[in-house]
Copies of this chain bind each other. A is one copy, B any other.
Amino acid sequence: MISWSSLYHVVEAMMPLYAAMALGYASVRKKAFTPEQCAGINHFVALLAVPLLIFRMISSNNPYTMNIRFLAADTLQKVIILAALAAWARFSNNGSIAWVITLFSLATLPNTVLMGVPVLRGMYGPMSENLMVQIVVLQFVVWYVLVVFLFEYMAAQNAFMEQQQMPPPQANGSHSVDIPAVNADGSDPDVSIAQEETIRPSGMLILVMAVKKILKIPSTYASLLGLFWSLIAFRFGIKMPAIIDNSLSIISVSAIGLGMFSVGAFMAQRKKFITCGYYLAVLAMVMRFLIGPIVMLVSSFAVGLQGVFLNVGVVQAALPLAVLSFVYAEEYNVHPDIMSTGVIVGIFISVPLTILYYVLLGLER
């Protein structure tokens, strides 16, 4: 059973995130910050604060004691959802690769870094932070690479079709992004290939381009470097010197506050919160807060995950949509309105829903 005091701890963990977001929102609305000034803060978050936070999180996590069952459940959830969407895209008339990417992102990519770590720590203590870090590693090293691969594949396909003098489908090539709360800094809008090619590009070539593109994102670098460091450090018992760790943390501590501030500033710069219509907004919320966690629950049972690990897995699957998912949707112009709605509305809806999952899972224990 969940006690009132543990529920209060959860609210205590979530409140500061929303306070920082509200401050960002109010600051822009009251014109205390210009859009350019917000872009500066946002740039700092994306280029320095979040990557340093990710590096610190991953580098201090022992990769040899990762919970394989936990990661298997997380992986199975994503594979099940991807397979179901792929089957639907193949056999349905309405299916398209664009929708596969959108629905996959909505259902499987929660905000792990800014919200996941502090909220889960509030719920299940410091041990859950460790589990979240393991999910962050996979998110950056596997799943975002896959998402970008699919985007690039689609862009290549569309470009090929255009070459064949066919009318282009809804989604088109990449363009650069500057408003989003956490942008893919350094990503080169010209990197997507195939626009110039006349022959159908191979899957291998597209994969190379996707990896190249994802490697331009500081957070990916940070994940890989952190993983590399942790593999060496925990193998040979090397400890990061306090002087270096403190030098990293003086910047990384700002990531969550500034990140949520940026999300709030991003909201304030939008004309409406729901830009994709109510039907699609509801669809987005169902994918995020119902399909994602339920498939996670099923996957957890399938691999035999139990107790607090199961709870952490399901609750993190019910967090708001990752801001980076919106950034890519905007960059490739594939349903950015749905993803923006998913991020913004999701943040509000997640307060009761995440707590509801927390309470329900607590009952079951």
* Residues of chain A at the chain B interface (Cβ within 8 Å): 11-12, 15-17, 19-20, 23, 27, 32-34, 36-41, 43-44, 47-48, 242-243, 246-247, 249-251, 253-254, 256-258, 260-261
Contacts and interface: CB of A to CB of B under 8 A. Distances in A.
A242 B12 contact: yes
B33 A40 contact: yes
Contacts of A250: 16-17, 19-20, 256-257, 260
Contacts of A251: 20, 23, 257, 261
Identical chains bound together, number: 2
For the complex of A and B, list the 8 residue pairs with the smallest distance between their C-beta atoms, beginning with the closest: A40-B40, A37-B40, A254-B254, A19-B247, A16-B250, A250-B257, A16-B246, A16-B247
A37 B17 CA distance: 23
B16 A249 contact: yes
Contacts of A257: 250-251, 253-254
Most buried by B among A48, A251, A256: A251
A116 to B, nearest CB: 15
A72 B40 CA distance: 43
A242 B16 CA distance: 10
Contacts of A44: 33, 37, 41, 258, 261
B23 A243 contact: no
Given A12-B246, A19-B250, A20-B250, 5 more contacts: A16-B249, A23-B48, A27-B47, A34-B40, A254-B258
A19 B249 CA distance: 10
A107 B222 CA distance: 43
Contacts of A40: 33-34, 36-41
Contacts of A261: 44, 251
18 contacts: A11-B243, A12-B246, A15-B246, A16-B243, A16-B249, A23-B251, A32-B47, A34-B40, A36-B36, A36-B39, A36-B40, A37-B39, A37-B43, A37-B44, A44-B258, A250-B256, A253-B254, A254-B258
A311 to B, nearest CB: 23
Contacts of A37: 36, 39-40, 43-44
A20 B19 CA distance: 26
Nearest to A38: B40
